[in-house]
Amino acid sequence: MIHFLRRNWAFAYPEKPAKSQGALRIGLLGASNIAPLAVIAPAKSHPDVIIAAVAARDEKRANAYAKLHGIPIVHTSYQELIDDPSIDAIYIPLPNGLHYEWAIKALRANKHVLLEKPSTSNASEAASLFRHPLLKQPNAPILLEAFHSRFHPVCAAFLEHVDKEKVVSAHATLTCPKGVFPETDIRFDYDIGGGVTMDMGAYTTLFLRLIFGTEPEECLEATPRLMPTGFDKRCDQAMNAKWRFPNGGIGTMHVDLSLRSLGPIPGVRLPMCEVVHDEMILDDQSLDSSGKEHAVVKKVIIWNMIMPVIWHRIDIEKKHTIRKSATKETLKQWTTTEYEKAYTWKDEARGGQGHDSWSTYRHQLEQFVHKIKGSGSPSGIWMDNEDSIKQMTMIDSAYKKAGLPLRPTRSYQEAL
């Protein structure tokens, strides 16, 4: 309990080191609700990052936002911020349908880009963005899709327990209680890339891809719960989907932005991923020549992979069976369970990267800065350009199987 309290206090009130000369100056497009958690707070504890500017459609809102968060420069338009020569990188947390346009504009201005997930409205846009000639030129700016949960040590620790080729099934769940996001929220606006599969589904599809270590062959099922009467029926409020992967394993997800309550009890579930492996026969010397065999089925679960700094846990469960080799008759069964946590990197090569109070966003910012400064990604974790395209391809496959239209493309030319 003491460790829990100390860690979360340090997360909420991080140390604020002096900023270095040449610190990366980041500008925010939009006075968004996510930026304080995603970049503003993480930048406070990073000596090489300054949140230097913000722009919003409403200048009054931008000024109030800047005052609240101690941001020195306010621009009257997104383009004005991008054109500011004092800004090195742009953070884009705009509605999904605006990501492509403003990412291209920022790259054209030779700004590095931290782009909120999902990167674009569909896979076609993602391919156009992440394979853009601007990213292939010498000293090209860095473009990173901000899958923050990928960067925390617990994600790597979880995957170390997964034998990708032997995964029989994997299930990822992410939900939010009904009422947190009203039906009028931009998350449910089809024209700007809304829908739960674009929102929470971005996380669950990523974890399924990481678990299997490859791309799905086919989306087998996709069952949406559409928006209620009076709202856009092209938008999914909840989605259940199933994919088949090359090893024959099945990946499923359940996402819901409006989870129903059970009477007075709000619909709250911990985010989780569960992985079941194929049965393995152990080389058990005690059973030699006895006509018996020792079989084990391993299950690995990660709890709260989205905000693990607050609390998380990895469960490694092994179900043992002693049975007759010939008839498979069960003689004895037992289950062992181990629990693991990973608030910091354990291996020496990455041991200096981070503190147990660092959020997923702080770890992500660390790697983003290292990449820009040319020192690679010390943790070895990165979301490369092709990965982002594959990510959108999997999301699109769910919409196609569900019989829903893909989120609409907004070309850069249309936005000029």
Name the catalytic one among 105, 117, 390, 401.
117
Kindly give, in sequence order, each residue whose CB lies less than 8 Å from that of residue 97, ignoring residues fewer than 6 positions away. Answer: 121, 191, 192, 193, 407, 408, 410
Q: What is the amino acid identity at position 62?
A: A
Which has the closest alpha carbon to 399: 258, 215, 234? 234
- 117 catalytic per annotation: yes
DSSP 262: B
Full 3-state SS string of 200-247: HHHHHHHHHHHHHCCCCCEEEEEEEEECCCCCCCCCEEEEEEEEECCC
For 368, phi then psi, to 5°, come to -60, -45
How far is Cα 275 from Cα 171, in angstroms, rounded to an integer? 7
How far is Cα 277 from Cα 296, in angstroms, rounded to an integer? 9
Sequential DSSP letters for 276-298: EEPPEEE--GGGTTTTEEEEEEE
Cα dist. 104→51, 110, 385, 388 in Å? Answer: 21, 10, 14, 15
For 330, phi then psi, to 5°, come to -75, 130
CA dihedral 236, 396, 270, 359 (to 10 degrees): -120
How far is Cα 58 from Cα 70, in angstroms, rounded to an integer? 18
State both tokens at 164: 């990708």
**305-308 contact pairs (CB < 8 A, 24+):** 305/149, 305/152, 305/154, 305/155, 305/158, 305/203, 305/207, 305/271, 305/272, 305/273, 306/149, 306/174, 306/203, 306/271, 306/360, 307/359, 307/360, 308/149, 308/152, 308/154, 308/343, 308/360
Q: How many angstroms separate the first and last alpha carbons of the chain?
A: 54
State both tokens at 177: 């209680």
User: Which residues does the annotation mark as catalytic?
Assistant: 117
